[in-house]
Structure formats: C-alpha cells, structure tokens
Structure 1
C-alpha cells in the first residue's frame, strides 16, 4: 500500500493577540510518510503502518515477576533502586544519556549539543492533574529535572506524542523559546503561544542542528488529548513519532510510546544497526483490556525483540520507576522485574544497561 506524502517544506506563523506568535515549520518530502486515512469516517486522521491483529514472537505466561536480588525495594516492588553489577558496553559513541524518569531523557551528543526527549517535570497539565489525583488517589513523584544551566543551553526538545505523560505545557513555558522544538505532525497547535520555534516532522523526515542529524521515525501508538475520556474529537488528529539522533556515524534511537510491530525491522533496514536504543517496557498490563494495552505498548519481551530486530549495541529501558505514573502496570518496578526475567529466559544477546532516575552513562 502506498502512503501519500507531502511534497514540500513550508513555514507558517500562528497568530495570536495575546503574545508572540509561534513559528511552525512542517518538514516532509517525497521520501517521507504521512499515514493519513484518505476516506471514510477516519479521513484526515493518522494511522499505524501495520494495523490489525497482532501476533507476538514471545509472551511470558507464568511467573513473570520473580524477585531479583539486584532490585532493592522499600516495599513489594515499590520505591526501588537497581543495584546490580553492570559493565559499561564501552561503545565510544560520544553520547551521554541521563534518565529523567518515565520517558524523559537528557542527551549530550558527541559534539556537544544538548537535547531532551519527552520532558515532564510534575504530574499532568492542570486541571487534568487534579482530576487524576481525585479519581485515583495517586500522585506521581517528580523525577529528575534539568539544571538551570541545562535549561539555558538546550539545543532541542523532542516530543514523541501529545499524551499527558509525555507532553506538558507548563514545562514548555519553563524551558522557554530558546531551543528548537521537534514534534510529530499536527502537534504544534497544542503548544502555548510565546514565540516557540516548532518543527513538525513526518515519518522519515530529517533535519539538522549544526552537524547533528535528527530523523523522525514511525512508532506504533495513537494520540488523543481530551479532558473527558471516550470523547474522541481529537483522537489521532496528531501523529506519534520515534526519534533517531545521528552524529559522527553513531546513532541513538528513542522509540517513544509504541507497541511491537514490523516498524522496528523497517528502521534497521533503512539505517543499519543502532548503537543506543532507549526502549519502553511498561504500561502494557490491564486486567480487563490487556490485549489493547499491549497493542500500543511493548511488554519487556516485546522491547527485547524490538532491540534484537534493531540490532542495538545496547538497550536502555524506560517507563518503570519511582517517578512513573503506574498506568497499565502492577507496580512501579514490576516491568523491570519482568524484563530481567525475560532477558534470561530469551537468552538475549543485546547488552542491557539499567538506570535509576537521575543516573547517567557515557557510552
């Protein structure tokens, strides 16, 4: 099936009477993919490359969460720190990776650029944060955050999609309009106004910040940003992306929220083996709707299969942790327990490196 593409790069300005206009650039071309429904009731909405019923190469069925001596917890799989012995893979990529918690990462590139993926400092945008707390009785613990120096010297902020646990308007206002913002298609109209420089990017589009090349890549997910559940006016009106950083011949892949699909193999075929893979392992569990949760979120074994198909030189997992929202998980660290278990069960040959929130590694 041939998917239509945009044929040009253009810039538009969003006008407002209240504050400085945002500068919005849409980046797409003849080699990029814009996966829009063309007709029917879904016309104009985005879709995944490989929709439909899924089969999974590996599925943990029993005893998926055995205790692990390397995970030290205050209570049962809650408030934990991973303290296992680990060896730095010594890849000599020049990338430094710091995990902020959940999907947030601060990346220093080989040539000194500073970029961040999916930064969310607190809970959710107001008033959804209060509604979530009242409904669930749960409030997310803040993870690590950017220093004042890092905030002042950011080159780029990249968002994978508009879900509240990946995109927070209050954080954008704190970060400010100095860095360049890179987003999936359709996402710019969710930004506050204030002179932000935003590049919306189609799948397989690329752009540069100095000598750092940034590729927007497919993910297998969905999008919505509504206050009332099951009201779908905005359902899939904005795209969802993964991201690939490339510099000095070295690559770093951030998968974004995604389920398992053929897009992992597609990415490897297009870009070759990936040096560093930041892979989600959480938010797949739900007693009543587990099939759908797994459809749009990788289980730990799905993430390991994806890393194998990408031929990653190291996989760093995310989504679990003391600052997670625990949406679709047994507990804050159950997904990590399952990952450690399935890594052995699958005899995975992909090097694995586990971070606690706030920790960093030079690779």
Structure 2
C-alpha cells in the first residue's frame, strides 16, 4: 500500500467514524408549550395544525393577478427578473441585519453579534429526491449560496420543517458541528449523524441564546421526508427571535390561518416579518397548495395580523424552484398588484437574491 493510498483509507475511515458519531440531542419542552398531536385512531401521535379544516381567506385575487410592474425588470413576463425599485429600509432600530440567500434561506446577524441561519439550503435537493427531480426536469439554477467559511461561522441554525427545499443534509455538513441546530420536536431523528448539537422545541417554547430569546411558534403546514411512511411524525414551525424587545419573525412554509393573530396576541406587533409569497398556485385541482402556502394576498393579510413594521417576502426568485408558481417572479408581481388593490399599509421591503439590509 502506498502512502497516498494509506492516506485515502485513513481519511475515509475518519469520515465514516465522524458521520457515525451520535448527535447531542436535547428537548426544550415544558408543560406550557404546545405539542398538538392526534389523540387516537390510526394517526395517533402524529402532529397536526392548530386550526384544521377549511380556512377563511379574507381576499382572493381572481383576475389579472400578474400585471407587469415598472419596478420589476424581466427578460420575459414574470421570468428572470430583478426588482429595481426603492429598497430604502424603514426607520427601525432593531439592530438585525437580514441577508436573503434565496428561496427560504436567510442569514441573520443579530444585535449581539451572533450569526443565525434560517432554513439554509445551499444547493439542489438532497439525494434521493435530486435524482428524481433530475429525471423530471425539476432543477433550479445553482444559487449563489454562502462561502464555506461563512457557513461554518454560524452560531445557530433554525430549520422550520423537513421538506427538501428547506432542510438539507449537504448544507448541514458544510455548516459543521460548532453551531446549535434548533428544530421542531421529532426532527432530530432526521439529522445526519456526526456529533451535531440539536435542540428540539415545541410551539411557544422559549430558550436563551446569548442575548437572544428564541421562540418557536406555530405554522400551518405539514411535514415529511420519506415517501408515504413518515407523514407528520415530526413537527413544523416558524421562529421568532427577540432581542431587548425587538423581534424578527420567520414564518417557515405556512398557509393562512388564525395562528398569525395568535402570535401577535402573545408577542405584540412584530418588527421584521419574513413571510413566504410563493408555491401557492391553486385551482379546483390543487386547493391543497393554498391550504399550506400563503398566496401573496394571504401574506399581506398575515402581515397585518402580525402588526409587522416591515414585511420582507420570500420564495420567488431566479434561483427558486418555482414549485406551484407560474414563473420565477409571478408571486412578486401578484404581491405588488394586491398591495395596491388592498391598499395595504404594511411596509414592504423587496429584496433580490443575495441582497442584505440593516434594520
């Protein structure tokens, strides 16, 4: 055996050992926190939404929902666009820096100097879904992402649920084991092995991270990682980060329901709201999309329910997966159209993928 071959063998053994190292898992759940599980029957123990059954949507765009907008410059209608309008942030003194990586992924610098990641997915789908996606032609352009050293400098990673466009084993391995991983209850079982620090939380649970308070809050969605056999065996959530009374909210994937009003009643008006506006497209055959994803008009109503001082929409973009959408920027066109139709008073701050803003 040559020295080079020996080095490869030793490296491979080390990697196998690292990948098999058990994770350090802690559950941060008290009797006051909300779990919400099916109490009996075949689905006993599975997690469920707070508000089940048909939802009341205050407004729905019916006609001409995607008119061109002078501040959205596109190569073709709604496709391959850039927002070229005013990006002056509102006068907030929250101290949070928001960097939109793309789709649902955000990097947040907190006022106490910590770096947080929401739903970081830096590449395509994890295997085996990446293989199936390739076969059917579902492949987004490679996003700019974040440099390896910046990912590894993260203090905390907060995942909302298991779906492949929100939770990535490949990205977790890039981030490494120095960060704390915050996940909804049940999701620790889906983390890759390798000595990661994992904290499982329930709805309305709170914990301290430096000067921050990390609240896990409800979302109206569902959860699965494998086909057919693990539906809703792990929880889904949004996140609320608090620093000296200033708040930043990440909704995760969610449909519209009264849970937005519940969050406002518990925590007060929210300073910064990161709310999805994509993957909602529905007709008589796909009503399920809207049940678990906010339309742009649902997002505006939700922002009003939350008392958002600024709303930053996400989900559209040139590197989005366009799941359930007409084009890369049709959600943004519909959002700007419905903002005018509803005379919404919630300030919008529109970002392009890769943009940062200090708030």
Q: 2:119 maps to what in 1?
A: 118
- Runs (4 or more) in structure 1 with deviation over 6 Å come to none
> Is 1:307 matched up with 2:307?
no
Q: 2:318 maps to what in 1?
A: 322
**For each residue in 1:258-283, what CA deviation from the matched residue of structure 2 results, as whole angstroms up to 9, or x when unmatched?**
00000000000000000000000010
Residue 151 of structure 1: how far off its partner (Å) = 2.1
Q: 2:154 maps to what in 1?
A: 154
Distance 1:176 1:86 in 2: 34
Instruction: Give the structure with higher Rg (CA).
Output: 2
Q: 1:177 maps to what in 2?
A: 177
TM-score, scaled relative to structure 1: 0.92
* 1:27-106 → structure 2 map (5 Å cutoff): 27-106=28-107
**Unmatched tracts of structure 1, length 5 or more:** 1-15
Q: CA, structure 1 residues 86+92, in 2 after alignment: closer, same or farther (shift >3 Å)?
A: same
User: Does structure 2 retain, via aligned residues, the 8 Å contact 1:71–1:83?
Assistant: yes
TM-score, scaled relative to structure 2: 0.93
Matched residue of 2:100: which SS? strand
Residue 17 of structure 1: how far off its partner (Å) = 9.8
Distance 1:284 1:101 in 2: 17
**For each residue in 1:66-109, what CA deviation from the matched residue of structure 2 results, as whole angstroms up to 9, or x when unmatched?**
01111111222111110012331020110000001000000000
Distance 1:138 1:20 in 2: 34
Q: CA, structure 1 residues 18+266, in 2 after alignment: closer, same or farther (shift >3 Å)?
A: closer
Matched residue of 2:37: which SS? coil
Matched residue of 1:269: which SS? helix
Which of the pair is proportionally richer in helix? 2
* 1:193-232 → structure 2 map (5 Å cutoff): 193-226=193-226, 228=227, 231=228
Matched residue of 1:339: which SS? helix
User: Does structure 1 retain, via aligned residues, the 8 Å contact 2:19–2:192?
Assistant: no
Distance 2:264 2:185 in 1: 23
**For each residue in 1:16-66, what CA deviation from the matched residue of structure 2 results, as whole angstroms up to 9, or x when unmatched?**
996221011111112100011110111010000000011211111111000
Q: 2:8 maps to what in 1?
A: none
**For each residue in 1:235-288, what CA deviation from the matched residue of structure 2 results, as whole angstroms up to 9, or x when unmatched?**
111100100000121000000000000000000000000000000001011445
User: Does structure 2 retain, via aligned residues, the 8 Å contact 1:185–1:238?
Assistant: yes
**Unmatched tracts of structure 2, length 5 or more:** 1-16
Residue 343 of structure 1: how far off its partner (Å) = 0.4
Query: Please, what is the CA RMSD of the aligned residues?
Result: 1.3
User: Does structure 2 retain, via aligned residues, the 8 Å contact 1:286–1:329?
Assistant: no
How many residues align? The count is 343
Q: CA, structure 1 residues 152+86, in 2 after alignment: closer, same or farther (shift >3 Å)?
A: closer
Distance 2:166 2:18 in 1: 28
Distance 2:349 2:143 in 1: 19
Instruction: Report the more deviating stretch, 74-83 or 110-119.
Output: 74-83
Q: CA, structure 1 residues 181+67, in 2 after alignment: closer, same or farther (shift >3 Å)?
A: same
Q: 1:348 maps to what in 2?
A: 344
Instruction: Report the more deviating stretch, 78-87 or 171-180.
Output: 78-87
> Is 1:278 matched up with 2:279?
no
> Is 1:250 matched up with 2:251?
no
User: Does structure 2 retain, via aligned residues, the 8 Å contact 1:143–1:358?
Assistant: no
Q: 1:291 maps to what in 2?
A: 287
